[in-house]
């Protein structure tokens, strides 16, 4: 029995009773010098003893003097690889000086893995040990020629440092059969092995620097974290004990059975962690065997190489690091210039002739603006320099598109090519603001704006941005040069035509017609245009039309989901069709893959996509919610990254078959990391253009709520006059609450966002505006709604009194009204006391009458239902009933009731649902109740609410959570009214048929997406979830973190 010394990453201590049965033998570190000496003798070196000493000394000094990096290893295996490299060279050049051979072997094996700073130290160490030896340059001419050809083919620039890394990679493939390409994102890892592959295939048959002929190379790429271990290596089925092959074992079997001796590289492009890589240990050391758990062993052939492409090795064990050759790439080798240069080479002729001007713009602004961002700006999530450069280039592409036509695009008119010189600079500046400057928060935007204006003063720009406000407030209008405005028939050519066609900067809100809310609008459908959502939507559309992925980042409640959903559903061109996916803590990669695959049709063998002529836009909300695994990877994220890098993934039914996906694109939204949200790997985010949704400014909030409030109060003069004061007070209250009531472990649900403020107004809108005719009655209503949204979640009297006095202060300061004149506790509103036709939401002043009404309802409930409730309705219980009725009467109203068991949460909810005349549904737990039964129940409830259009209350308690996936589905229902892949085919047909008339009434085309989204909307409006939880302990806090909809989409009521 053999095991390594206990290390925190991997090995654990064996139990004592097992240890006692074995005789322990401790292994000492061997004498490397002796081993090296014998090996060198066997390769035919005559000076083996001093050389062995020098080799060992090199490694000893390196391990002491160089920085400690995860991918450095100076142990026995490193010594051995130097010796085998020296042996190869000795065979090739028998008459060469032996010192020189050793020096070359040491350099070839070690230099690729060093960082720039360590390289200098290492060169020092080596020149001390081999003082008088002049290095002879090696002739790489043939390989370099091949690499230059490869760079041309890949349309990349042959930067000398990059070619050097490709050559080092080639050298490493000769010495080691397992190697790792390590380096941060954007350092050219993928391109380096692609270049080498093309070069080696191109030069096949010629003799390479190692003295053997070049052979063609085939690569097989997979992301080991986007699949499970069983799908990678193969696994036994738990029930039937059948063996299912894994992707790697299938690919290797094909390789072993191949007739030719072409090189085969197996690329693992994804995070390396101790779980899956340990199974590779036998492959990577000298056994070269892949051992599967079925007992089968596959022997690697000499033509195979295992390559790992990783950003860092923080999670790999030393056992793995020592077995692989390392090639380390740094972004500083490339810099940013090559990216710009390669892009500029591909510009269409009419723009390419202004090459110098474009180059000048990049030189002036790019590096300096990125430097400014790095020093002075707070980004919502971190970006990389290369990522910002690509974002800028992608934005510019959107403007240049009309000059390089695809089939579907409108061409630029011929005279545009002559005037394009006026447009290049403003295009560049607009793109710079919305790529480099788009990932930061509000304050940072001010800084960036100031810095950019100063910069404009130094380098004169032809069309200046107006001085008012920030540079972010303006959009560039090309005056119809590229896209001429449609000529209206019958219009005379006016003399100021030329004046109108001048390119200029205009404010985003300049041409906006005043927004009118239709009379029959539902509160949840009102989307008031503000500068934030107008410009964000504009930029999202601009990028999506060019098939560029977009990532919206911003704190919760900044209308990310709303803006994107509104854009995708309403105003994208016809060929784009949206699909919505919500991630949460328990999402896994297989679910995500099945969900996306289920939407796509087969085009031809191995290629899948939407119906011809369509483009699917997958909108992934809460992208960074999936929980981290033990070693920090997020499989769903790795799956999306595999698509971004390789435009497809492996089929889950046919093992080893690669599915290429076409005509799809991703739009994602996520909040900043923290509180259940995790940082996402930069290797995914580098593909996206970032748009930060910043906290709404006061002006925007004021505009939204005054539009809505005035719409409600339109017949009432008194309310219209006072509306501004009321809205400013509400915003102040909301801001004070956000800054003062902060979450602590015992108050983990004290997280507030803009949705709460909108709930205050939604509550006020339940009352008829004509009944509010004086300040007192308005303030009483305002006080009541604020209490329901903010005060009901507070856990102790101290906080409640603080909140009450806050509202009192505002009443005195803003309205000169004394608190006690307005409010006599208890303040209650409801529509269940009045009898007959007048069941309107109104103040309840007669408490005796209210008690009598509730007792009547209770008696009626007990007559109708078998399970009787004997309740004594004291004051607190009546308050809670009126709160629950208020919540479930609102569209999209869901409640989270927090209190210990036995505080009456469930019985009061049953009574409230009965009073509101809603049906009440809940699940019945039994011993065999599992996920299948849960899904069946949910499906029944949702079809009931959606197809039959019946208002339903779904009562769910935390004692019914048999598995955390229950909450996962509940989170989805609260968020979007849907659970992915829950309906059978026949049920979907029913839904589509039932929704057709509704969709055509709304004037939308009856596509499946529109029909389904009309259905989910109806589910959200009719299905009111009331979730009862106990607020005690770590489990509750963890659940709020993992399933944010429990707080974001529910109104909270605390039972003390």
What does the pLDDT look like over 743-783, one tens digit per residue?
Answer: 888 888 888 888 899 999 999 998 888 888 888 899 999 99
Ordered DSSP codes for 413-463: PTTHHHHHHHHHHHHHHHHHHTTTTSSB-HHHHHHHHHHHHHHHHHS--SS
Residue 138's pLDDT band (boundaries 50, 70, 90)?
A: confident
Given a cut of 90, is residue 549 above it in pLDDT?
yes
- Residue 12's DSSP bridge partners are none
User: What pLDDT score was predicted for residue 933?
Assistant: 92
Arithmetic mean of pLDDT, 802-818: 92
User: What pLDDT score was predicted for residue 788?
Assistant: 92
**Contact yes or no for 440/379 (Cβ under 8 A):** yes
**H or E stretch including 179?**
strand 178-182
Q: How far apart are CA 277 and CA 273, in angstroms?
A: 6
Q: Choose among 911, 921, 915: nearest CA to 957.
A: 921
**Contact yes or no for 358/424 (Cβ under 8 A):** yes
What does the pLDDT look like over 320-359, one tens digit per residue?
Answer: 888 899 999 998 888 899 999 999 998 888 888 899 999 9
Locus of tokens 């989409």? 1049
The CATH architecture to which 696-811 belongs is: Up-down Bundle (1.20)
- Which option is the CATH number for 142-334: 3.40.50.720, 3.40.50.300, 3.40.50.1000, 3.20.20.140? 3.40.50.300
User: What pLDDT score was predicted for residue 487?
Assistant: 40
In this structure, which topology does domain 875-1056 adopt according to CATH? Rossmann fold (3.40.50)
Residue 493's pLDDT band (boundaries 50, 70, 90)?
A: very low
Q: Is the backbone of residue 675 left (phi > 0), alpha (psi -120 to 50) or beta?
A: left
Residue 516's pLDDT band (boundaries 50, 70, 90)?
A: confident
Q: How far apart are CA 354 and CA 341, in angstroms?
A: 14
Q: Which two tokens stand for residue 820?
A: 């006690």
Arithmetic mean of pLDDT, 308-313: 92
User: What pLDDT score was predicted for residue 492?
Assistant: 35
Ordered DSSP codes for 995-1042: HHHHHHHTT----HHHHHHHHHHHHHHHEEEEEEE---SHHHHHHHHH
Residue 632's pLDDT band (boundaries 50, 70, 90)?
A: confident
Arithmetic mean of pLDDT, 20-29: 87
**Contact yes or no for 307/193 (Cβ under 8 A):** yes
Residues 6+ apart with CB under 8 A from 542: 395, 398
141 burial (CB, 10 Å; 0-12 / 13-18 / 19+) is exposed
Q: How far apart are CA 164 and CA 192, in angstroms?
A: 10
Q: Where are the domains of the chain?
A: 32-129, 142-334, 337-485+498-511, 561-692, 696-811, 875-1056
3-state helix, strand, coil in the chain (%, to 5): 50, 10, 40
Centroid of chain to Cα 859: 52
Answer whether CATH 3.40.50.12780 is correct for domain 561-692: no
Locus of tokens 């040990």? 129
The CATH architecture to which 337-485+498-511 belongs is: Orthogonal Bundle (1.10)
User: What pLDDT score was predicted for residue 794?
Assistant: 92
Mean pLDDT, the chain, rounded, equals 88
> H/E/C letters for each residue in 792-827?
HHCCCHHHHHHHHHHHHHHHHHHHCCCHHHHCCCCC
Residue 786's pLDDT band (boundaries 50, 70, 90)?
A: very high
Q: Which two tokens stand for residue 775?
A: 């300040």
Q: Which two tokens stand for residue 49?
A: 């003893």
- Residue 537's DSSP bridge partners are none
Q: How far apart are CA 582 and CA 592, in angstroms?
A: 10
What does the pLDDT look like over 949-1004, one tens digit per residue?
Answer: 899 999 999 999 988 888 888 988 888 888 877 888 899 899 999 999 988 888 87
**Contact yes or no for 619/661 (Cβ under 8 A):** no
Given a cut of 50, is residue 68 above it in pLDDT?
yes
Given a cut of 70, is residue 607 above it in pLDDT?
yes
User: What pLDDT score was predicted for residue 812?
Assistant: 93
Given a cut of 90, is residue 934 above it in pLDDT?
yes
More confident residue, 489 or 922: 922
Q: How far apart are CA 914 and CA 1016, in angstroms?
A: 24
Given a cut of 70, is residue 489 above it in pLDDT?
no
**Contact yes or no for 266/252 (Cβ under 8 A):** yes
Same fold, 337-485+498-511 and 875-1056: no
In this structure, which topology does domain 32-129 adopt according to CATH? Helicase, Ruva Protein; domain 3 (1.10.8)
Q: Which two tokens stand for residue 434?
A: 């919305």
Residue 390's pLDDT band (boundaries 50, 70, 90)?
A: very high
What does the pLDDT look like over 420-447, one tens digit per residue?
Answer: 888 899 999 999 999 999 988 888 999 9
């Amino acid at each position: 029995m053999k095991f390594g010394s206990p290390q925190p990453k991997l090995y654990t201590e064996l139990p004592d009773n097992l240890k006692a049965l074995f005789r322990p033998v401790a292994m000492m570190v061997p004498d490397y010098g002796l081993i090296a000496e014998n090996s060198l003798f066997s390769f035919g070196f005559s000076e083996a003893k001093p050389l062995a000493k020098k080799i060992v000394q090199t490694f000893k000094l390196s391990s002491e003097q160089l920085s400690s990096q995860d991918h450095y290893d100076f142990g026995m295996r490193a010594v051995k690889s130097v010796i085998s490299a020296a042996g190869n060279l000795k065979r090739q050049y028998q008459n060469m000086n032996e010192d020189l051979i050793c020096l070359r072997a040491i350099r070839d094996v070690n230099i690729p893995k060093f960082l720039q700073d360590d390289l200098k130290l290492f060169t020092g160490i080596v020149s001390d040990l081999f003082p008088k030896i002049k290095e002879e340059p090696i002739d790489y001419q043939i390989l370099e020629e091949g690499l230059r050809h490869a760079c041309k083919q890949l349309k990349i620039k042959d930067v000398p440092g990059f070619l050097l890394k490709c050559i080092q990679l080639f050298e490493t493939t000769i010495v080691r059969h397992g190697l790792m390409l390590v380096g941060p994102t954007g350092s050219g890892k993928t391109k380096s092995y692609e270049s080498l592959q093309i070069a080696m295939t191109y030069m096949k048959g010629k003799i390479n620097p190692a003295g053997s002929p070049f052979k063609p190379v085939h690569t097989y790429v997979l992301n080991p974290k986007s699949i499970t271990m069983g799908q990678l290596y193969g696994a036994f089925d738990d029930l039937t004990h059948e063996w299912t092959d894994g992707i790697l074992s299938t690919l290797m079997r094909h390789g072993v059975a191949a007739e030719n001796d072409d090189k085969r590289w197996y690329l693992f492009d994804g995070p390396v962690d101790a779980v899956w890589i340990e199974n590779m240990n036998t492959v990577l050391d000298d056994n070269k065997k892949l051992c599967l758990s079925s007992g089968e062993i596959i022997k690697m052939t000499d033509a195979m190489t295992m390559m790992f492409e990783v950003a860092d090795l923080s999670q790999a064990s030393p056992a793995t690091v020592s077995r692989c050759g390392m090639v380390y790439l740094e972004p500083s080798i490339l810099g940013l210039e090559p990216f710009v240069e390669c892009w500029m080479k591909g510009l269409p002729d009419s723009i390419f002739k202004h090459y110098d001007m474009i180059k000048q713009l990049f030189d002036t602004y790019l590096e300096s603006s990125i430097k400014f961002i790095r020093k002075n700006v707070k980004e919502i999530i971190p970006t990389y320099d290369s990522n910002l450069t690509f974002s800028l280039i992608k934005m510019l592409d959107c403007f240049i598109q009309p000059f390089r036509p695809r089939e579907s695009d409108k061409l630029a008119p011929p005279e545009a090519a002559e005037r394009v010189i006026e447009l290049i600079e403003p295009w560049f500046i607009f793109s710079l603001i919305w790529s480099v400057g788009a990932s930061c928060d509000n304050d940072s935007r001010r800084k960036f704006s100031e810095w950019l204006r100063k910069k404009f003063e130094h380098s004169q720009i032809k069309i200046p941005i107006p001085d008012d406000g920030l540079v972010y407030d303006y959009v560039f209008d090309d005056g119809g040069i590229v896209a001429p405005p449609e000529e209206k028939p019958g219009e005379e050519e006016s003399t100021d035509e030329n004046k109108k066609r001048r390119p200029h900067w205009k404010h985003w809100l300049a041409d906006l017609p005043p927004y009118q809310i239709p009379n029959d609008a539902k509160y949840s459908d009102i989307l008031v245009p503000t500068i934030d959502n107008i410009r964000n939507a504009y930029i999202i559309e601009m990028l999506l039309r060019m098939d560029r992925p977009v990532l919206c980042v911003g704190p919760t409640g900044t209308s990310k989901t709303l803006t994107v959903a509104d854009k995708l559903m309403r105003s994208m061109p016809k060929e784009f069709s949206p699909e919505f996916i919500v991630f949460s803590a328990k999402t896994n990669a297989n679910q995500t893959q099945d969900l996306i695959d289920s939407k796509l049709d087969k085009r031809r063998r191995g290629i899948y996509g939407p119906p011809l002529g369509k483009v699917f836009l997958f909108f992934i909300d809460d992208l960074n919610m999936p929980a981290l695994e033990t070693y920090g990877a997020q499989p769903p994220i790795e799956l999306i990254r595999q698509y971004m890098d390789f435009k497809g993934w492996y089929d889950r039914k046919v093992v080893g078959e690669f599915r290429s996906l076409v005509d799809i694109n991703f739009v994602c939204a996520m909040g900043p990391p923290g509180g259940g949200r995790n940082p996402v790997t930069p290797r995914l985010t580098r593909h996206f253009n970032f748009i930060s949704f910043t906290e709404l400014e006061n002006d925007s909030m004021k505009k939204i709520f005054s539009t809505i409030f005035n719409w409600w109060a339109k017949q009432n003069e008194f309310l219209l006059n006072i509306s501004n004061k009321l809205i400013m007070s509400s915003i102040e209250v909301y801001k004070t609450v956000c800054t003062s009531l902060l979450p602590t472990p015992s108050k983990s649900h004290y997280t507030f966002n803009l949705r709460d403020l909108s709930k205050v107004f939604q509550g006020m809108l339940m009352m008829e505006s004509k009944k509010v005719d004086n300040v007192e009655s308005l303030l009483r209503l305002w006080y009541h709604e604020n209490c329901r949204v903010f005060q009901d979640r507070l856990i102790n009297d101290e906080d409640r009194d603080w909140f009450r006095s806050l509202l009192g202060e505002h009443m005195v300061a803003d309205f000169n009204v004394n608190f006690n004149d307005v409010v006599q506790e208890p303040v209650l509103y409801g529509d269940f006391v009045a009898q007959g036709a007048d069941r309107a939401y109104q103040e309840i002043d007669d408490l005796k009458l209210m008690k009598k009404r509730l007792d009547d309802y209770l008696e009626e409930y007990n007559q109708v239902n078998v399970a009787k409730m004997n309740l004594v309705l004291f004051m607190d219980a009546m308050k809670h009933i009126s709160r629950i009725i208020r919540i479930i009467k609102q569209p999209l109203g869901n409640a989270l009731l927090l209190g210990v068991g036995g505080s009456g949460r469930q019985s009061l909810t049953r009574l409230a649902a009965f009073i509101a005349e809603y049906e009440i549904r809940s699940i019945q737990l039994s011993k065999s109740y599992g996920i299948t039964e849960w899904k069946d129940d949910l499906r029944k409830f949702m079809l009931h609410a959606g197809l039959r259009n019946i208002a339903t209350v779904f009562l769910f308690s935390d004692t019914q959570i048999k598995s955390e996936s229950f909450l996962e589905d509940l989170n989805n229902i609260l968020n979007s009214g849907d659970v992915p892949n829950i309906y059978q085919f026949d049920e979907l047909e029913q839904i589509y048929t039932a929704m057709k008339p509704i969709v055509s009434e709304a004037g939308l085309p009856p596509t499946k997406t529109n029909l389904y989204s009309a259905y989910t909307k109806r589910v959200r409006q009719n299905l009111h979830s009331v979730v009862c939880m106990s607020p005690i302990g770590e489990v509750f806090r963890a659940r709020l973190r993992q399933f944010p909809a429990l707080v974001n989409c529910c109104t909270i009521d605390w039972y003390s």
